[in-house]
Structure 1
Amino acid sequence: MRLTVYLAGEIHTSWRDEVKQQAEKLQLPVDFVGPMEVHDRSDNVGEEILGEQPDPIFKDAAASSFNNLRTEILMKKSDIVIALFGEQYKQWNTAMDASAAVAYGKPLILIRQKNHHHPLKELSRKAHLTVESVEQAVRALQYIFE
């Protein structure tokens, strides 16, 4: 059995590479999908497909439509979602994706550090698991296959 794992969260750090490397090291039968990780592509996809937009708000709206389409399709096809709330970046997209996973009925592993306990308490209660590190999330995946 193979599982498809959607990796939700900020695209500015290498946390996804850590998940993939640890899963590969454990020889877990998983495939990973997620949001567009090339920030410029994500920001500009609307204009690249639809043409130049009249102002930055329309540009963002156009890009958001394509990014939401991609996210919904890939998340709905996934078996499980891992959402990381990191320290450095604003986490609005992570919150949106984690909430979507809950709404789609997808099993959710939430990674958040202890100091994010209070602001994420409701979302943590909706997740199947809340852990504090990438390693713990990968170990949870490993446990599925035991």
Structure 2
Amino acid sequence: MKFTAYLAGEIHTSWREELTEKAKALDLPLEFVGPMTDHDRSDNIGELVMGLQSNAIAKDEAASQINNLRTQLLIKQSDLVIALFGEQYKQWNTAMDASAAITLQKPLILIRPEKLHHPLKELSNKANVTVENVNQALKVLSYVLE
């Protein structure tokens, strides 16, 4: 049986590629989906669909409607969510995606460095498992999918 994992988290580092490659090397029965990682496409999709917007706020609103639809559909279709909180970027979208997973009763693995324990303590308490790095998440997945 193959499982689908939604990879929530910042889009500016290669953590998704690292996790995907390592999962493949371990022969884990997983396929991965996630947010649009092309930042410009994500920011501009509203105008690409609905035409030029009147200002930056309207542009953001148009894009967020489509991006939220994408996220909702992909999380609903996923078997689990892996949400990575890194130290470098603000993580509002990651928190929103992790909360959506909890609301939809999707299993959630939270990856966050120890340094972020305090600001994420409530979210971590609601996750099924909290780990500090991608390798630990893969160990959890390997065990669960044995």
TM bucket, shorter chain: over 0.9
Question: What TM-score do the two structures reach when normalised by structure 2?
Answer: 0.99
Matched, 1:119 2:134: no
Aligned equivalents of 2:141, 2:55: Cα separation in 1: 44
- Aligned AA (1:98): A
- 1:107 aligns with 107
5+ long unaligned stretches in structure 2:
none
Aligned equivalents of 1:52, 1:62: Cα separation in 2: 10
Q: CA deviation at 1:138?
A: 1.1
Q: CA deviation at 1:120?
A: 0.4
Moved over 3 A (4+): none
Matched, 1:141 2:138: no
- 2:21 aligns with 21
Question: What TM-score do the two structures reach when normalised by structure 1?
Answer: 0.99
Q: CA deviation at 1:127?
A: 0.0
Q: CA deviation at 1:145?
A: 1.7
- Aligned AA (1:80): L
- Identity, % of aligned pairs? 65
- 1:9 aligns with 9
- Root-mean-square deviation over aligned CA pairs: 0.5
- Aligned AA (1:37): T
Aligned equivalents of 1:145, 1:113: Cα separation in 2: 24
